[in-house]
A and B are shown apart, each in its own frame.
Chain A
Amino acid sequence: MNALPGPLNDNPRLDLWVSFAETGKVVVNTGRVELGQGVLTAMAQIASDELDVDMASVMVRSGVTDNMPNEGYTAGSQSIQMGGQAMAQACADVRALFLEQAAKAIGCNANELTVRGGKFLRNGALSGQDYWTLNGAVDLAVNATGRGQRKAIGERAHIGRNDARTDLPGKLFGEPVFIHDMRLAGMKHARVVRQPNKDATIGAIDEAAIRRAAKGDIAFVRSGDFLAIVGDDEPAVERAGAAAVNHVTWTNVEMPTPLQQEANWLVQRPVIDCLLGSPEPSDAQGRERFEATYSRGYLAHASISPSCGLAEYRDGHLTVWTHCQGVFPLRGALARMLKLDAKAITVHHVQGSGCYGHNGADDATADAAVIAMQMPGTPIRIRWRREEEFVHEPKSPAMLVKVRALLDADGKPSDWTAEIWSGNHNGRPGGGNALLAGYALPDQEPFPQANDVPEAAGGGATRNADPLYDIADKRIIHHMVTETPVRVSALRGLGAMPNVFALECAIDELAGRAGVDPVAYRLSITSDPRARAVIEKVAVMSNWQANASGGAGRGRGIAFSRYKNRAAYAAIIVDLEVDEEIRLHRIWCATDGGLIVNPDGAINQLEGGVIQSASWVLKEQVRLDGGTASFDWETYPVLKFSEVPMIDIVLINPTNSDVPLGVGEATAGPTAAAIGNAVSHALGIRLRDLPLTRERIMAALLQE
């Protein structure tokens, strides 16, 4: 008997996970949703192995608030690590119950039976029984026990194999697979005239000017400071939405300045403090001291498509369609905002474009719901405008990280402090926060002070601030800044990217002081064998030459982290060239993600993380200037095809394990730091503030 994986423990009824209602088909339910990461394919692989059924017979249902395990959010690289393990155990338990029943029906011992393609074989011969003949006799309305034997290494047919993604064909043949493509009978299109910030109130509305700009029939829907435009013709509604920005006046508008876009603005702001670990020693006891400050600005998720949501309120029931990451938390937040019973709301997940965290998806759905409640019987479709997504999606908080270390006689750290200033990384509606519309609606209950992601869940701003290296005394001083100039929430890896950037750049600086090669230095303070293995592997992959001199604008850098100090291990080496700008030549990555259900899918995720992080580091920062001045792809550029380097990724022992470690966010931190280290290697000067833009590089070169 195994302890139940968390999500199965929370949702123990087996009929929530598996059913055999239609002959020849198995329906499995996962609370995880497809975000382009291939999770539904991986779930089908797991179910097919643990039930011994053909993959083609497995239908994966996902993301609806009816008859579905509540697994919270699809986030934090936990879909396989937690959700996949839960699915596997649920299926194994179901298989065990059916084996018992089959033995009874056949009149034999369960250990004479095996399962192939959903059919029960007795000593290798067909018994005439299968899941579907036995379905009536097996009661799945029982709790999981963990008694079902999981497939051992070597018995797996699909887990560990590169099964093709089930969602990809529809996307390549132009099928209407995205929420943006949904059309409901009688549906109206809508756009919101966005409240510029949470305390702003509507002054005057020039309805006539907006109607003129629409060049088509539109209607207004208003509740408090929530104002929307609704109509049958999407282009007319879009034109009206765009024009309304100039024809509605607001009071209490905040005007953020460029100073506020920088991480160092956070210091001296009101904070909630927290110390994790022992207090910092006041006396260095003769040890050499190292101190450096690293920072990163606000980042946008910048999903390729603006958010979209649909809603219909009919006969006292609200149905919404969303591409958010958590249908149950969204249902709770909608119930609270709309003062409805959660039972009167059904939330369906439909795929959107990649989100990488908490983007505008929940808010767009909420917008549609607010309008639908005012227009019972009429389905409403909202699609945010591009500018609206950039300006109003929650941003990843800017972070300032001060690293202080005390060094022993060999130049190795024996005491480590990471002092962090950051806004909250948990602005999700499920965390008790407002949906955007909620700030504009009348009669809303006040929201409690938001809390960052708890340490037990990997922390938010503190994520990966604790080095995995052998350091005797370590601590994190966390200053959570309570008011930020832009709304903030979760983006891929949360604080891991800035923290790993700070920590791994600091380690390189310490290696340089000690006169030791950066790879050798890391290995000299690493005893975790899996950490050593990825560092050694990536050094071999890239033909790392110890103590190779950089300069002349060419450089090479390494960085390592274990995501959340408990998920996948990743080590990255970057080759690049810098003159005024950085050109990435090649990136190598070695990852130990434990058991990998779909190696090609994992590599796809790891590579996506590398490229996205490279984009963050080279280009990305949300600009503030009287408002959010990053509002389209020209004011918020991202990495282009011609700027993406060659990337080699190797998975260590991907099928030789029983325990998966989340991989989706593992490369973001080490990629950032490896680029930082390579730039320093190339230029002989250290840049500690992200992004590493042309202006910053030029300024640093001029200072030399």
Chain B
Amino acid sequence: MAKTFDFTVNGKPITVTLDNEETPLLDVLRNELGLMGTRFGCGLEQCGCCMALIDGQPEKCCAKPVWSAAGKSITTVEGLGTPALPHPLQQAFLDEQAGQCGYCLSGILISAKALLAKNPSPTRAEIALALDGNICRCGSHNRILRAVEKAAAVMRGIHP
């Protein structure tokens, strides 16, 4: 009964074969593809830990069946940048030391990336609102907001 699903993950074409087409996309990323950057927080679409970009939209992957992502292009936190070539958001988070335990950060980076794609110069209140679907329990909020503002400024400078 195994079924095959094709999609693009971080720019690479991927095919997975699964017995159950209801398997959440998050499990496919983590357990089938070994991409651990997208985290599990609740499995209930409530916390934002599991966010990835699906065709450019920030989506929670923990309850999204794999079939619904078939044929789509997925970007996870691993696809944003690397230590050698960090995305401006990642660099800004490092500069601001934005995070404590860091468990929430993957989802927050994804939300922020989607926001900046839509709105390159958001106000702090707009950033906060865009991140309301992401819970941070450690209280790193203000550093995170500063980092997103900073990344936005850098990105505006790069792509004027």
Contact = CB atoms under 8 A, between A and B. Distances in A.
B128 A642 contact: yes
B158 interface: no
20 contacts: A162-B97, A169-B83, A172-B90, A174-B106, A178-B39, A235-B24, A304-B136, A305-B40, A305-B41, A354-B103, A356-B137, A601-B97, A608-B140, A633-B47, A634-B46, A640-B135, A641-B129, A641-B134, A641-B136, A641-B145
Nearest to B144: A641
Contacts of B144: 641
B142 A647 contact: yes
Given A174-B76, A632-B46, A644-B141, A36 B101 contact: yes
Most chain B CB within a 10 A radius of its CB, from A167, A170, A386, A609: A386
A386 B101 contact: no
A170 B101 CA distance: 11
A130 interface: no
Contacts of B38: 174
A575 interface: no
Contacts of A236: 20
A99 to B, nearest CB: 35
A304 B76 contact: no
A175 B82 CA distance: 10
Nearest to A649: B142
Q: When A and B form their complex, which 5 residue pairs have the shortest distance between CB atoms, in order from nearest?
A: A174-B37, A36-B101, A171-B102, A611-B139, A608-B139
A236 B125 CA distance: 41
A168 B101 contact: no
Interface of B: 19-20, 22-24, 27, 30-31, 34-44, 46-47, 49, 76-78, 80-83, 86, 90, 93-94, 97, 99-106, 109, 125, 127-129, 131-132, 134-145
A600 interface: yes
A283 B136 CA distance: 51
A354 B137 contact: yes
Contacts, number: 182
Given A604-B143, A612-B139, 8 more contacts: A172-B109, A174-B77, A234-B31, A304-B41, A353-B137, A607-B139, A641-B132, A642-B128
A304 B48 CA distance: 10
Contacts of B49: 304-305
Interface string A172-193: 1111111011010000000000
Most chain A CB within a 10 A radius of its CB, from B34, B103, B105: B103
A530 interface: no
A607 B138 CA distance: 9
A497 to B, nearest CB: 14
B23 to A, nearest CB: 5
Given A235-B20, A386-B43, A173 B90 contact: yes
Contacts of A610: 139
A600 B97 contact: yes
Contacts of B20: 215-216, 235-236
Nearest to B89: A172
B98 to A, nearest CB: 8
A644 B42 CA distance: 22
A600 B136 CA distance: 19
A82 to B, nearest CB: 21
Contact of B44 (A612, A632, A644): A632
A176 B36 contact: yes
Interface in A7-51: 35-38
Nearest to A648: B142
A302 interface: yes
A351 B142 CA distance: 23
A353 B97 contact: no
Given A352-B101, A354-B100, A174 B132 contact: no
B142 A607 contact: yes
Interface in A382-401: 383, 385-386
A583 interface: no
Nearest to B126: A642
A304 B39 CA distance: 10
B101 A304 contact: yes
Contacts of B46: 632-634
B79 to A, nearest CB: 9
Contact of A304 (B23, B31, B44, B135): B135
Contacts of B80: 173-174
B27 A234 contact: yes
Most chain A CB within a 10 A radius of its CB, from B41, B44, B101: B101
A205 interface: no
Contacts of A632: 42, 44, 46
A38 B100 CA distance: 7
B77 to A, nearest CB: 4
Contacts of A180: 36, 39-40
Contacts of B132: 640-642
Nearest to B145: A641
Given A172-B94, A386-B42, A641-B128, A36 B138 contact: yes
B20 to A, nearest CB: 6
Contacts of A126: none
A647 B139 CA distance: 11
A165 B103 CA distance: 15
Contacts of A638: 135, 137
Contacts of A38: 100
A642 B129 contact: yes
Nearest to B38: A174
A634 to B, nearest CB: 6
A303 B137 contact: yes
A548 interface: no
Contacts of A172: 77, 86, 90, 93-94, 99, 102, 105, 109
Contacts of A351: 101
A54 interface: no
Contacts of A641: 127-129, 131-132, 134, 136, 141, 144-145
Nearest to B140: A608
B128 A608 contact: no
A164 interface: yes
Interface string A362-396: 00000000000000000000010110000000000
Nearest to A385: B43
A449 B22 CA distance: 48
Given A632-B42, A641-B134, A235 B23 contact: yes
